[in-house]
Amino acid sequence: MNIIVYIIKRILYAIPVFFGVSFLIFIMFNIVAGDPTIMLLGKYATAKQMADLRHYLGLDKAWYLQYFDILKSAFTFNFGHSWATKQLISEMIKSGAKVSLTLSLPSFIISSIISLIISMISAFYRGKWIDKFLVLICVIMMSISALSYILFGQWILAYKFGLFPIEGYEYGFPFFIPYIILPCIIWIILSTGSDIRFYRTIILDELYQDYVRTARAKGLSETMIFCKHILKNAMIPIITNLIIQIPFLILGFLLIENFFGIPGLGSIILDAINNSDFPVIKAITILTASVYIVFNAITDILYVILDPRINLK
């Protein structure tokens, strides 16, 4: 019963957050960003042209109606047209997200598996040389700029040794694979460092709980305690952490996509920045934020269902 009340409360809590996010977007793009008509029409636009365009873009409406448009777009996916390419934004996002996912999904899965395995090894041998060595490698990997990885990877592996195509992309299943291998490798290198450290900390947090001491007192072997008791409990925060990353996968990785010429959502964002294409950035922001809010609620609810230790007062 308690859990059901919690779930309903948690879902209701997403509503004010959603209003907050849409209001923040409204302030950023409709108020602070200023009037886009001069930018769109150039300096020599007549007053009539500007008024027409303003009307066409819905900028002459009262502020609460403009805000309402943003709210509505999160549900109808009707974001209007891009200022730069004149395409329908929802179509652009759909095709971009598909491309981004072909890169981000395999990277995410592989890097999560690698991080999990290495963090377990590191936590199991905590304090020993192998743990210290792994942690050091992680810190070193985390300290190099993403841009440097991309540049060196592209230059040495793709250009000098010709192991991968330097850039480009082809649509459709097996064809894109050669183009995503190097970007995937770079993505994995970029994310494993911090993930391993994070998971290792979570596992180590469990090590000092009372139930571990009890298990030891019962005379269970260290391996048994680690695999059966600690991992089982540590998996809950790890899994929720993995789920919460999923919404951001559709965004792809801006820098990697740009460097390797992959036409995903990251590249679309970058083009939108260069062209001052507000509606596109706005649409992507609304979309990812909404998905994030939903996933955030799901992980919170999962957490409570999975972990019987959490008591709901």
Binding-site ranges for other proteins (CB under 8 A): 16-17, 20-21, 24-25, 28-29, 32-33, 139-140, 142-148, 151-152, 154-155, 159, 208, 248, 251, 254-255, 259, 269-270, 273-274, 276, 281, 284-285, 288-289, 292-293, 296
CB of 104: closest distance to other proteins in angstroms?
A: 13
Nearer to other proteins, 13 or 176 (CB): 13
Nearer to other proteins, 65 or 156 (CB): 156
Least separation in angstroms between CB 264 and other proteins: 14
What six digits make up the tokens of 104? 């981000």
Nearer to other proteins, 63 or 175 (CB): 63
CB of 175 to other proteins, least distance (A): 26
Closest CB to other proteins among residues 31, 224: 31
Least spacing, CB of residue 133 vs other proteins, in Å: 13
Residue 28 or 41 having the CB closest to other proteins: 28
Phi, then psi, of 88 in degrees rounded to 5: -70, 125
Minimum Å distance from CB 227 to other proteins?
21
